Structure 1
């Protein structure tokens, strides 16, 4: 019994007598560090204050708790997706046999284990012991992941596969997931293929499809996922990826149908409902979008992670539907029920601006949208899609300067993923060629400044910094024909002066090929190609065929 004494445990159950019984069972095993939570919300607040070795959670969190609305599965998803529990935290779901049979197939994020009620202290401790033994075997890999050393974690997985054949598939799975995180998708795909040669495991099929999707092999991913769902029609994560695969293939209606099928099987996952709402909105199915976004807002009300963007999505849908009363009601709900903060202020102002514009009050809309633009710099974590939507809203009521300023900030934000070309395209698609030209002029100024700064670094002998500076520019403007030759030249200079580095040489070849594709008659192309070949010969590198 003393083996358990060092464990810290969180009990999550709305029923006080059940928590008391669980506490008594655990105390019999020598566990004294035990805390209680009556709901998902209180559990999250407890976990934010303290880490636990084990979470014992009732699946049905009931309707007696003050922030009811989430079940144990939704709590687990919040904890994992927001990284509130470490990879080695043991999460055991306590549930009845009837509920277990309904949720086990549909759960996308599974707990460490399920324990069916009623159970004895010995049965519960046996499950905990089994989970601890497994955790101990994976601990070195988990610790490397926590430190951000994924390559070392992969090495630990390789060692685990050799030393612990019983868990070889689990170590291989973690290794493949880590490789995928590092972008080594072809290697990860091969691991899943090897696993599937021995037995048809559902998660391996899903991992394979994710790798195929990441490599833009969309038709292969579609085939893998359809075969998986034929064998496992309740494997919910496969529906989500299949919908995204259809979207990547331009098949929006098919994506919507897949998501509707998934929601009919597992109707409570907020992320899937949100995705369905977005796809339905894009396809013009306002009815489905409205229903989905209403459910998102309602279900998120009981989560510690309410996203004010959900209210904006619902307001946009209601505005598109022409329902001003309901749209105004959603804005009032935001003001009443969401905690104040920069993100909430941006979203509230956008939603209010949409309602004002719909009502014909363009002056009121301009005021609200200007407030939203002004609040964006103080916000954190707002989606790029929401900000681009704000740009379009500004354009629709002639707030040209605000739209341009916001798009310029988006373009210069490394986290946004918006390239310079995409920034110009937003204005072109909106029919505002004048603003697109203005954005192009701003981009030219920025590119000229960046090239001048890199040239200064290069003149001072800081070749690596010059290359880094130009590479940062290329990430924002991959097709810019001023940056491309400057970056290629800087890389070739570094290779010539500081020595041959294969990855850098490959990048130089890649940039030369991009230049050749975009502007085959570019005056620098022949000179840069000759410079590359000269450096190859200098270091005795075989020419690439």
Structure 2
């Protein structure tokens, strides 16, 4: 039997009587140290400063927040070690439908009212599971993916691993995806689906196919999930990302508009909505979404310099260069200097567009690096736009050509075309298209080299 006297408990509930009842039950099963959190922000503060061993969290936290949102936020910022037990407490019998769909699941859930004996039974079962996976958790945390997979492979075939069969397969798939082996991850998820139709596994197949750039197949898989489990909001995010990769920006924005209204405090989703709206040409929606992120994503460190660059970009897209310049000059030099080349290039490019006098010297100083380095698609778009505005056509054309030849070509095609049209260079854009197509044809026609 597990000893809970040395475990630190955190009870999260917005109702004082409910908190007291949960503390009493926790003490009955042997808990000595039991702390309280009365709301969402209080819970995050306490967990961030001193992670408990066991969290008992009510599903309804007030102010439009839920325990599921809290769990997702904790995982987003890596504030919840795998060894920590997170148990959802709910009065909703229908919660089982929610937890069966979502990807980020609690360790367990328990429906009110419940007895100390029932809680004890659940906690002992979770402790046994945590102990079983302890060695795997350690290797995964250190990103030693090969070792993590080796442990899972050995456990999968063991007698002790039988109760955790699906969890082992799920963890295998997640590690394979994290390590970049999307084909193996797809196979692992399909292995799960051969036995049981978990929505999160179907979504995992879609994510794996997306990583392989098999967009039509990925879209088919995620459509099944969205249609079958409408409360699985992460599936809508996956669908939106796939739609953007296919160049269907209006559909991506429509999907995210709908789900964002149901989850107004999910700021990762708001960022994705801004991206989709930008690609769709809906600059006002993008700007509003990013302003909401910068103003209200209150987790310490959540709003990044990249978020502020995105807000400045949305002002430029809307034609409001004054507001864009205000955001950019509000960034400290120390914030800019810690950015990688992509971030510094985007900052210089956006500043050059919004304020030529302030931005052009910095942008010109980066030009050699911008010609020689690999950059992210969003950065290439920023550099291309700044180069077009400064009539540096050689630099603009190089980045446009890179983008048109990349796997992101469908995603960024309309953005490139509109910028070249804005600067009266439609014919040059068509010539870049033609040259990229010719190179692709030539590459496809070159026979594979045989043995020497």
TM-score, normalised by the number of residues in structure 2:
0.75
| 1:362-511 correspondence to structure 2 within 5 Å | 369=328, 372=331, 374-379=333-338, 384=342, 388=346, 391-398=349-356, 399-405=359-365, 417=376, 425=384, 427-430=386-389, 432-433=391-392, 436=395
Residue matched to 1:338: none
Residue matched to 1:355: 323
Residue matched to 2:128: 133
Cα distance change, pair 126–387 in 1 and its aligned pair in 2 (3 A): farther
Cα distance change, pair 253–152 in 1 and its aligned pair in 2 (3 A): same
Q: Name the SS for the 2:82 alignment partner.
A: coil
Q: Name the SS for the 1:4 alignment partner.
A: coil
1:20 aligns with 2:17: no
| 1:518-533 correspondence to structure 2 within 5 Å | none
Asked if the contact 1:161/1:169 (under 8 Å) is kept, the reply is no
Q: Name the SS for the 2:62 alignment partner.
A: coil
Return the offset for 1:313.
5.1
1:144 aligns with 2:135: no
Runs of 4+ in 1 over 6 A off after TM superposition: 407-414, 418-424
Q: Name the SS for the 1:114 alignment partner.
A: strand
Return the offset for 1:49.
3.1
Residue matched to 1:113: 108
Residue matched to 1:274: 271
Cα distance change, pair 272–117 in 1 and its aligned pair in 2 (3 A): same
| 1:180-329 correspondence to structure 2 within 5 Å | 180-289=177-286, 291-293=288-290, 295-297=292-294, 299-301=296-298, 303-307=299-303
For structure 1, list consecutive stretches of 5 or more residues without a partner in the other structure: 64-68, 325-352, 358-364, 441-477, 479-512, 521-528, 534-542
Asked if the contact 1:404/1:435 (under 8 Å) is kept, the reply is no
Cα distance change, pair 435–385 in 1 and its aligned pair in 2 (3 A): same
Return the offset for 1:104.
4.4
Which structure is larger by alpha-carbon Rg, 1 or 2? Answer: 1
Cα distance change, pair 354–117 in 1 and its aligned pair in 2 (3 A): farther
- Give distance in 2, aligned partners of 1:403 and 1:44: 40
Structure 1, residues 239-272: CA drift from partner, whole Å, max 9, x if none? Answer: 1111111111111111111212322444432211
For structure 2, list consecutive stretches of 5 or more residues without a partner in the other structure: 400-405, 407-438
Cα distance change, pair 294–125 in 1 and its aligned pair in 2 (3 A): farther
Range that drifts further, 419-428 or 89-98: 419-428
Return the offset for 1:299.
4.5
**2:70 counterpart (60, 66, 75):** 75
- Give distance in 2, aligned partners of 1:185 and 1:165: 26
**2:156 counterpart (161, 171, 175):** 161
Return the offset for 1:221.
0.4
- Give distance in 1, aligned partners of 2:20 and 2:373: 51
Cα distance change, pair 250–356 in 1 and its aligned pair in 2 (3 A): closer
Q: Name the SS for the 1:55 alignment partner.
A: strand
- Cα RMSD for the two superposed structures: 4.0
Structure 1, residues 456-493: CA drift from partner, whole Å, max 9, x if none? Answer: xxxxxxxxxxxxxxxxxxxxxx9xxxxxxxxxxxxxxx
Cα distance change, pair 98–205 in 1 and its aligned pair in 2 (3 A): closer
Asked if the contact 2:89/2:111 (under 8 Å) is kept, the reply is yes
Return the offset for 1:184.
1.3
- Give distance in 1, aligned partners of 2:324 and 2:169: 55
Cα distance change, pair 93–407 in 1 and its aligned pair in 2 (3 A): farther
Cα distance change, pair 305–97 in 1 and its aligned pair in 2 (3 A): farther
Return the offset for 1:5.
2.2
Residue matched to 1:469: none
Range that drifts further, 15-24 or 303-312: 303-312
Return the offset for 1:166.
2.6
Q: Name the SS for the 2:200 alignment partner.
A: helix
Structure 1, residues 361-403: CA drift from partner, whole Å, max 9, x if none? Answer: xxxx6xx85664744444568x957962651332343231122
Aligned length, in residue pairs: 406
Residue matched to 2:29: 29
Return the offset for 1:217.
0.7
Asked if the contact 1:290/1:318 (under 8 Å) is kept, the reply is yes
- Give distance in 2, aligned partners of 1:396 and 1:294: 18
Q: Name the SS for the 2:136 alignment partner.
A: helix
Return the offset for 1:312.
6.3
Return the offset for 1:196.
1.9
Return the offset for 1:420.
11
